[in-house]
Structure 1
C-alpha cells in the first residue's frame, strides 16, 4: 500500500496572504475605513481566517467609529465574495512545491489536501495555481460537518485518495495542523518558511521543513 502525504493549503503550499488581506481591506474600504491591514505585516493574521482579519481591522478603527449590529457577519460574506473574485492575484506557490509533488508521485505516494478553506474556494485556488490534478482528494472546511483540528477531515482526505491513515502524514503550518496530526495519530512536518517561520518549532513537530526539496526524503523515511 502506497503512503499518503496530506497537505494544508494556505501558508503551506502557497502564500495566500496578499489576496486574503486585499479581500479584507475591500470590506473596510466599503465602510469608509481605508486599508486597515498590511499585506506583509499582517500576513500571519490572514492565515487565521477571514473573521480574524476582520476583527484585527476593527480593532484599528478610529475610536469615534462604531459598527452597526451584524457588521462582522455582513463583512465576512462580502470578504468571501471579494476573495473569490480575485483569488490568485498575489498568491504564489512556495518554492519547490511542484518539483516535490512530482517526486512524491514518482515515488508512488498518494497526495491529498486537507484545508480549513471553504471547499469551493480551495478547489478554485488549486486550479488557478495549476496543481489541482496532482491531488487524489481535497477536503475543505465545509466538506464535512467538522473541520481541523478534528481528525475526521484528515482521515477523509487520506481515504478519498486511496490511502490508509496509518501510512500517512500531514504537512502544515499552524498549531491547528499540529493538533490535527496528534488527533489522527500521525506525524506532522511543519513548514519553516511561512509567516511564523522557525517559531513553529515550539510545537515540537516531528520535522521542521526548511524547503520543499526536503520533503521527498522525509516521505521515504516515514512511509518507505
Structure 2
C-alpha cells in the first residue's frame, strides 16, 4: 500500500496570513477601532486562529475604550463571514507546493489535508488555489468533535485517504502539528519557510524542510 502524506494547510501549504489578518481588521474597523493587526508583523498570530487574532487586537485598544460583553463571540462569526467572502484575495501556495503535490501523486503516495480551519472554508480555499483534486481526503476543525492536536482528526484523514497511519507522516508548521504527530505516533516534518522560519527547529521535528522541492525525496525515504 502506498504511504500517505498529510498536510496542514495554513502556514504549511499556503500563506494565508494576509487574508486572515484582513478579516480580523474588518471586525475591529466595524467597531471604529481601526486596523489593529499588521499583516506582516502579526502573521504568526494569524496562524493560531480567528479568536487568537481578535484577542491580540483587543489587547491593543486604549484603556479608555470598553468593549461590550461578549465582543469576541459577536466578532468571531463576522470574522469567518468576511474571510469566507475574501478567502483567496492575497493567499498563495508556497513556492514549489504545486509541483511537490504532482510529484508525490506521480510516485503513488496518498495525500490528505488535516487542518484546524473549518472544513467548508478549507474546501473553498483549496479549490480557489486549484489543488483540491490532489487530496484524497480533507479533515477540518469541525469535521469531528475534536481538532488537532488530538490525534483523531489525523487518523481520520489518513483512513479517509485509504492509507494506514503506520505508513504516514505529517507536514506542518506549528507546535500543534508537532504535538499531533506525537499523539498519533507518526513522524513530523516542519517547514522552515512558514511564519516562524527556521526557528521552528526549536520543536525538534523529525525533519525540517526549507523548500517544497525537498518533500518528494523525504516521502520516499520515510514511506518506502
User: What is the match of residue 52 of structure 1?
Assistant: 52
Query: 1:15-30 counterparts in 2 under 5 A?
Result: 15-30=15-30
How far the C-alpha of 1:199 sits from its partner, in A, is 1.0
Q: Which deviations, in whole Å up to 9, do the C-alpha atoms of 1:136-166 show, x marking residues without a partner? A: 0000000000000000000000000000000
The Cα offsets for residues 65-105 of structure 1, whole Å up to 9 and x where unpaired, read as 00001110000010000000100000000000010000001
> What are structure 1's unaligned runs of at least 5 residues?
none
Partner residue, 1:178: 178
Q: Could you tell me the TM-score, scaled by structure 1's length?
A: 0.99
Instruction: String of CA shifts for 1:167-191, please: whole Å, max 9, x gaps.
Output: 0000000000000000000000000
- Give secondary structure in 1 for the equivalent of 2:170: strand
Count of paired positions: 224
Give the 3-state SS of the residue equivalent to 2:111 in structure 1: strand
Q: Deviations over 1:3-59 (max 9, x none)?
A: 000000000000000000000000000000000000000000000000000000001
CA RMSD between the two structures: 0.4
In the TM superposition, residue 63 of structure 1 has moved relative to its aligned partner by 1.5
Q: How does 1:30-109 map to 2 (within 5 A)?
A: 30-109=30-109
Unpaired runs of 5+ in structure 2? Answer: none
Looking at structure 2, the residues matched to 163 and 76 of structure 1 have their Cα atoms a distance apart, in angstroms, of 35
Matches within 5 A, 1:140-219: 140-219=140-219
TM-superposition CA deviations, 1:79-134 (whole Å, max 9, x none): 00000010000000000001000000111100000000000000000000000000
Secondary structure of 1:217's counterpart equals helix
How many Å separate the matches in 1 of 2:2 and 2:106? 11
TM-score (norm 2): 0.99
- Give how far 1:198 is off: 1.0
